[in-house]
């Protein structure tokens, strides 16, 4: 990975949890990110990471998969059920299977080692820009479809019985993009921009993985979807009617 150097410092100071069992990498990341407007906390094991997240105040987790006490994918699964913040997987396990599994489990991005520090910082900023801001007033804009209700301020999704359906940051961004343009075909590039602030590569399956994960939470039969339909060679279309709630 390239040597770190300072870039322009942003106005906000997000607090990042760096999870890696390599002390040298933790030190390099802390120094570079600290010089670029980020506060950092470090964890060298899954147990330390769980404790840090539970203590609160973390805006984003950078997660290495090779941890000494627990597989990183297991920790990612825990974070997606117990914590609502974004996770970027940063790992030497960069093969396609690990990438797909990480995205299936709800990672907001996946960066393979060795990485360029500036690219990593750009991805962190991109993910943080997509995290919804806290509501400024009690009134929240909501969208309703097929008995579901999505609160755009709190990013809470509830079903017809009022039960909450947990969404990762990426799932919320994808669902919002689809609901805001119902009955319209959205290309993979448009959806990738909504999720990651960049267009899809020619072999990028990120959107397909994210759609599959969202279908499992919304569709009565994900293998025969009626809400999120694939349009061959074009992208995806949200087929149900959507109304303000």
Domain boundary among 80, 107, 130: 130
The pLDDT score that the predictor gives to residue 134 is 45
Instruction: Indicate if 114 and 195 belong to the same structural domain.
Output: no
pLDDT at 32: 95
CATH number for position 186: 1.10.10.10
Give me the pLDDT at residue 95, please.
64
- Looking at the 3D structure of the chain, how many domains does it have? 2
Give the per-residue pLDDT at 34: 92
pLDDT (0 to 100) of residue 170: 83
93 and 155 share one domain: no
In a domain, 135, yes or no: no
Q: Give the CATH number for residue 75.
A: 3.40.50.2300
In a domain? residue 6: no
Residue where one domain finishes, among candidates 130, 162, 191: 130
Q: Sheet containing 235-238: which strands, arranged edge to edge? A: 185-186, 235-238, 228-231
Percentages helix, strand, coil for the chain (3-state, rounded to 5) are 35, 20, 45
pTM assigned to the model: 0.57
- In a domain? residue 107: yes
Domain termination site, one of 85, 105, 130? 130
Position 9 in a domain: no
For position 71, what pLDDT does the model report? 86
Mean pLDDT, the chain, whole residue set = 83
65 within some domain: yes
Do 73 and 151 have their domain in common?
Answer: no
Residue 8's pLDDT is what? 46
Whether 5 maps to a domain, the answer reads no
In 3D space, the residue among 59, 202, 76 whose CA is nearest the CA of residue 128 turns out to be 59
Reading across the β-sheet that carries 39-43, which strands appear in turn? 39-43, 15-19, 60-63, 87-91, 109-112
Q: Which residues of the chain have pLDDT under 70?
A: 1-12, 93-99, 131-140, 196-204
Predicted confidence at residue 54, as pLDDT, reads 82
List Cα–Cα distances, 56 to 62, 183, 241, 242, in angstroms: 15, 40, 38, 35
Q: What is the pLDDT of residues 83-109, one digit of tens each?
A: 878 999 988 765 666 667 777 777 888
- Within a 10 A sphere around the Cβ of 163, how many other Cβ atoms? 8
Distance, CA of 112 to CA of 71 (rounded, Å): 17
Where in the sequence is the domain holding 174, given as residue range(s)? 142-244
**Nearest in space to 63 (alpha carbons), one of 29, 34, 37, 35:** 29
């Amino acid at each position: 990975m390239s040597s770190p150097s300072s870039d322009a410092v942003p106005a906000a100071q997000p607090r990042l949890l760096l999870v890696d069992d390599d002390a040298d990498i933790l030190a390099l990341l802390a120094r570079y990110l600290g010089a670029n407007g980020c506060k950092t906390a470090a964890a060298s094991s899954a147990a330390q990471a769980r404790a840090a997240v539970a203590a609160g105040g973390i805006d984003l987790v950078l997660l290495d998969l090779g941890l000494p006490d627990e597989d990183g994918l297991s920790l990612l699964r825990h974070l997606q059920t117990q914590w609502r913040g974004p996770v970027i997987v940063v790992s030497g396990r960069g093969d396609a299977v690990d990438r797909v599994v990480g995205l299936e489990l709800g990672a907001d991005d996946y960066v393979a080692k060795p990485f360029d520090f500036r690219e990593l910082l750009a991805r962190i900023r991109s993910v943080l820009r997509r995290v919804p801001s806290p509501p400024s007033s009690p009134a929240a804009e909501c969208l309703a479809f097929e008995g579901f209700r999505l609160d755009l301020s709190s990013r809470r999704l509830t079903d017809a019985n009022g039960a909450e359906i947990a969404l990762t940051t990426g799932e919320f961004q994808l669902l919002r993009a689809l609901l805001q343009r119902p009955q319209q075909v959205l290309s993979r590039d448009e959806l990738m921009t909504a999720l990651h602030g960049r267009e899809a590569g020619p072999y990028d399956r990120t959107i397909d993985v994210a759609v599959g994960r969202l279908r499992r939470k919304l569709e009565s039969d994900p293998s025969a979807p009626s809400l999120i339909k694939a349009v061959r060679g074009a992208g995806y279309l949200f087929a149900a009617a959507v109304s303000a709630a």
